[in-house]
């Protein structure tokens, strides 16, 4: 079965995030934006990251694909997240998650042909993908699903 552990991506600070390093932990991936109605979810994401760091990795993917709600550069995004929400979980470089320039990770996440589990449509900011300890896709959650919702916590 396909695993997300085959991917690497640049972090917001320019270092490399290697998904292979997360073997043995669940992974929650979220496309994030600073000027979205769902932006306060950063707070819950940080709380989860701190409370469950022994078994969960959270990674935010800044993107400006929905409503132009992430117009900032990477330094501004990182500063916003740190100052307003105390974010310490990894953030990637700003990416495209739809269209012809879709990042390979999001192509894999949203296509059953790629991930062997399900097709999903990322229709707005703060959509969530949960993966198991072997890097296999478990579930997709829409923006309105809170990070600390029972639906997500039951799978962690």
Q: Cα(78)–Cα(152) distance, rounded to whole angstroms?
A: 25
- How confident is the model at residue 17, as a pLDDT? 97
What residues contact residue 153 under an 8 Å CB cut-off, 6+ apart?
Answer: none
Rounded mean pLDDT of the chain? 96
- How confident is the model at residue 2, as a pLDDT? 84
Q: Cα(151)–Cα(35) distance, rounded to whole angstroms?
A: 26
* Residue-range domain boundaries for the chain: 4-155
- How confident is the model at residue 54, as a pLDDT? 95
**The CATH number of domain 4-155, selected from 3.40.50.970, 3.50.50.60, 3.60.21.10, 3.40.30.10:** 3.40.30.10
pLDDT band at 1 (very low <50, low <70, confident <90, very high): low
Strand partners, 17: 9
Segment 6-28 mean pLDDT? 97
**Percentage of the residues of the chain whose pLDDT score is greater than 90:** 99
Segment 20-41 mean pLDDT? 97
pLDDT over 90 at 133, yes or no: yes
Give 71-119 pLDDT, tens digit per residue. 999 999 999 999 999 999 999 999 999 999 999 999 999 999 999 999 9
Q: Which residues are catalytic?
A: 84
């Amino acid at each position: 079965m396909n695993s997300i552990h085959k991917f690497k991506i640049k972090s917001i600070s320019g270092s490399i995030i290697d998904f292979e390093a997360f073997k043995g932990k669940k992974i929650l991936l979220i496309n994030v934006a600073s000027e979205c109605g769902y932006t306060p979810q950063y707070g819950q994401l940080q709380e989860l990251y701190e409370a469950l760091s022994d078994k969960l990795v959270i990674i935010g993917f800044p993107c400006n694909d929905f409503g132009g709600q992430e117009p900032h550069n990477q330094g501004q995004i990182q500063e916003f997240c740190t100052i307003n929400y105390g974010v310490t979980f990894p953030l990637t470089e700003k990416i495209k998650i739809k269209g012809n320039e879709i990042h390979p990770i999001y192509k894999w996440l949203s296509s059953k042909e790629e991930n062997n589990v399900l097709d999903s449509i990322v229709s707005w900011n703060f959509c969530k993908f949960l993966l198991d300890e072997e890097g296999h896709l478990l579930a997709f959650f829409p923006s309105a699903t809170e990070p600390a919702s029972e639906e997500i916590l039951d799978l962690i």
